[in-house]
Amino acid sequence: MSGIILERSDGVGVITIDRPEKLNALTLAMYDELSDVFDEIRDDPAIGVAILTGAGDRAFCVGADLKESIPALAEERFDISEWDGAHQKHSRLFKPVIAAVNGLCLGGGFEIMLSTDLRIAADTARFGLPEAGVGVVPAGGTLARLTRQIPYPWAMELLLTGQPVDAVTAERRGLVNRVVPAGDLLDEAFALAHRLLECSGTSLSVIKSATAQLSEMPLNAAFHAEALYGQQAFASPDAKEGLAAFSEGRTPRFPSRTEATKQPPEGHERG
């Protein structure tokens, strides 16, 4: 059965969009499932980092299943804001999310990728926003996010022309952090996830929360709020442990990571 799969492994939650026979196109139900999985990761202290990928090697995700979603939208049987959870528009998930992009990353799949924090692409990946060519627009966060994440003319080229770009171009334009051979994609994503798990969970949460909030504020107000975030982090148990470990010349054992070191339960499929 196709759906959204969540598996746990040593503090990492691996989310797989599992509909490879349809290039991991999302049904309306799968959008809801993806939103629920993000909430589950948010609330699970045993998960410190998430990896998001697509099943198979042909596609990360090509967005919504148009045979289902376009008629629903056209007949006003569906409100596109119901996808906000899957697009993390108002997310309270302050844990890092890594996109491991395999194959096609188009339309709504591109939009979901934009909601992640770190992105590793297979050398076979291709990225595009074909919406303008079919009379719609990418309203799943892209119109708000893309020009904030990459330079304006490159963003507009993707938005206005609908022409896809390859992985190397995506890296050069700042859409992804790095490109790796397709066979190494998940290994590289796990290596990055485990590097993040060596850091303070409190620090990562504060950093992600702060950058989301401060980017929307005038500079002076942002400086004030930044100081409050800093005080929050400096007063945390993780800070006490980190500073003690530094002075003692040992590896810190952050309290925020205690749960993530416990034996994880088995993975499960939703949908």
Answer whether 179's CB lies under 8 Å from 171's CB: yes
Structure tokens at 86: 């899957």
End-to-end, the C-alpha distance of the chain in Å comes to 7
Tell me, rounded to whole angstroms, the distance of Cα 60 from its chain centroid. Answer: 12
**131 catalytically annotated:** yes
94 closest CA partner among 207, 213, 229:
207
11 closest CA partner among 49, 52, 56, 65:
49
Structure tokens at 239: 């800070």
* Active-site choice (21, 33, 82, 111): 111
User: How many beta carbons lie within 10 A of that of residue 267, not counting itself?
Assistant: 13
* Active-site choice (131, 171, 188, 241): 131
199 closest CA partner among 233, 235, 247:
233
- DSSP readout, 170-207? HHHTTSSSEEE-GGGHHHHHHHHHHHHHTS-HHHHHHH
Answer whether 136's CB lies under 8 Å from 66's CB: no
**75 catalytically annotated:** no
Please list, in sequence order, all residues whose beta carbon lies within 8 angstroms of the beta carbon of residue 238, skipping any fewer than 6 positions away. Answer: 200, 201, 202, 203, 252, 254, 255, 256
Enumerate the active-site residues: 111, 131
